[in-house]
Amino acid sequence: MRTAYTADQIRAAEHELMARLPEGTLMQRAAVGLAAVCADLLGRVYGRRVVLLVGSGDNGGDALYAGERLARRGAWVGAVLAGSRTHEAGLRALREAGGRVVGQEEIERADLIVDGLVGIGATGALREPYVSVVRAANSARAPIVAVDVPSGVEASTGRVPGVAVRARVTVTMGACKTGLLVDPGAGHTGTLTLVDIGLGAHLPDPDVAALTGGDVDDLLPRPGDESDKYRRGVLGVAAGSDEFTGAAVLAVGGALRAGAGLVRYAGPAAPVAQVRARWPEAVITELDRPSLDGVGRVQAWVLGPGLGTGDWSHELAARVLASDVPVLIDADGLTLVARDRSLLRRSAPVLITPHAGELARLIRADRDDIEAARLEHSRRAAAELGVTVLLKGSTTVVAEDSRPVRVNTTGTSWLATGGTGDVLSGVAGALLAQGLSCYDAASCGAYVHGLAGRLAAGGAPLAAADVAEAVPAAIRALRADSA
């Protein structure tokens, strides 16, 4: 599991460690790791041009000491001093190694740019002269290596309130910062490399966590010798309408492909016909009124994809949410509970899977604000609504009150197409029915769904049905990687 921490958590850990070490030890450890990454990226160090972007803080010192090491290996190293002050010992070391102070015009001639402008404590938009320096670096041909965080990205949140460095590689010191895993900051990070400077024993519980493939494989249910279709999880799906028949087909397909032992589908005639034709494995109840009589016992429900938002749908949603099993609410189900939040007053667990617009309606917030601060708003929704939140988007996050937010690291932009969210509902719902908690079902469901999207796309457009078909291959890939 990859864990991440806020700037305050990192600084507290650094303070504890620095009290036990000679002055400057942590900076030297950081510089050694940073220089090694830069050398690997350059391939050949001797004769290459490296430009350091140096601010007033410790990140500037890390860059200067790393520049010293590269200069001693024969690189031409120049430092653009953009801050109101400079780490004097680091600048002296760079000059003694043959480095020099240069003007901003050298940025465009660099083979490698090292961003040491601002540190993890910076918040708000960058100001001049940093803005001009960052724009010059982003438009240069050379790759950028960011020190700790790309300048302009808020380390604790991932917010990017103005201009920010777009790094090829970010070398983060001691522990990963939250903002490096969450968009929009994650989109500026590039490849993330961690340099161990000895913080491990001093770190608190993480702010954010990202499951690895091995973590997901360990959590996914496996059938045993005594398993039968009922013991493997029975999922109810209340989805689809005369207008949106495909949503039911996709949700049921996602559930079956994710290993549900039995899927009971309940819906009106039009989607019933489509589900029966595509998934004969499903047990189907055609509803002529919004009642669950005769559907049979289930261990979890998926509620909402393509369900509609009229009175009939509201009554069916109320019946589902009156049950005593976990319920995943998606799509039209979210619209219904946004209008009538009393539907969420239940003792059994609830997992909601909104995109930013749906979450905005649920918590009366602005969609753009949610996109800019996904962690903050997903946490707020989890606490305010008393549910587990899987917020879909460029970075999918899973929030539950008093737990670290989990960030999903799989997926592809090709998943931004109609119906893929319905498949995700089925996948996560199947995991709920198999006994995973909302927190784990959401996290593992997002991981498997994202991996299936990658496999299905292969760098080309996909349809939602392709994702459902690729779910077993994604699970096999997890098992193979963990073997």
Is residue 482 scored above 70 in pLDDT?
no
DSSP 457: H
Residues 198 and 183 placed together within one structural domain of the fold: yes
Task: List the domain range (segments joined by +) for residue 56.
Answer: 2-207
User: According to the annotation, is 115 in a ligand binding site?
Assistant: yes
User: According to the annotation, is 477 in a ligand binding site?
Assistant: no
pLDDT at 91: 97
User: According to the annotation, is 466 in a ligand binding site?
Assistant: no
d(CA 26, CA 15): 10
Residues 171 and 315 placed together within one structural domain of the fold: no
Residues 332 and 281 placed together within one structural domain of the fold: yes
Residues 441 and 426 placed together within one structural domain of the fold: yes
Per-residue pLDDT tens over the stretch 116-138: 999 999 999 999 999 999 999 99
User: According to the annotation, is 440 in a ligand binding site?
Assistant: no
Averaged pLDDT, 285-310: 96
pTM: 0.90
Q: What is the number of domains present in the chain?
A: 2
User: According to the annotation, is 121 in a ligand binding site?
Assistant: yes
Is residue 382 scored above 70 in pLDDT?
yes
CATH number at residue 399: 3.40.1190.20
Q: pLDDT > 90: what percent of the chain?
A: 94
Residues 75 and 93 placed together within one structural domain of the fold: yes
User: According to the annotation, is 225 in a ligand binding site?
Assistant: no
User: According to the annotation, is 30 in a ligand binding site?
Assistant: no
Averaged pLDDT, 392-408: 95
Residues 157 and 222 placed together within one structural domain of the fold: no
Residues 259 and 159 placed together within one structural domain of the fold: no
Q: Of 161, 179, 207, which residue is a domain's last?
A: 207
Q: Mean pLDDT for the chain? A: 95
Q: Of 180, 207, 234, which residue is a domain's last?
A: 207
The DSSP line for 245-311 is HHHHHHHHHHHHHTT-SEEEEEE-HHHHHHHHHH-TTSEEEE-SSS--TTS---SEEEE-TT--SSH
Going by pLDDT thresholds of 50, 70 and 90, the confidence category of residue 394 is confident
User: According to the annotation, is 119 in a ligand binding site?
Assistant: yes
**Roughly what angle, to the nearest 10 degrees, separates helices 332-339 and 356-363?**
10
Averaged pLDDT, 197-204: 93
pLDDT at 479: 83
Is residue 459 scored above 90 in pLDDT?
no
Question: How many C-beta atoms lie closer than 10 Å to residue 273's C-beta?
Answer: 14
Q: Are 161 and 29 in contact (CB under 8 A)?
A: no
User: According to the annotation, is 247 in a ligand binding site?
Assistant: yes
Tokens of 57: 């803080």
Q: Are 262 and 229 in contact (CB under 8 A)?
A: yes
Residues 196 and 217 placed together within one structural domain of the fold: no
Is residue 228 scored above 80 in pLDDT?
no
Residues 31 and 55 placed together within one structural domain of the fold: yes
CA-based nearest residue to 332, from 238, 428, 470: 238
Q: Of 188, 207, 226, which residue is a domain's last?
A: 207
Is residue 481 scored above 80 in pLDDT?
no
CATH number at residue 74: 3.40.50.10260
Residues 61 and 200 placed together within one structural domain of the fold: yes
User: According to the annotation, is 130 in a ligand binding site?
Assistant: yes
CA-based nearest residue to 428, from 404, 406, 460: 406
User: According to the annotation, is 355 in a ligand binding site?
Assistant: yes
Residues 226 and 254 placed together within one structural domain of the fold: yes
Residues 26 and 131 placed together within one structural domain of the fold: yes
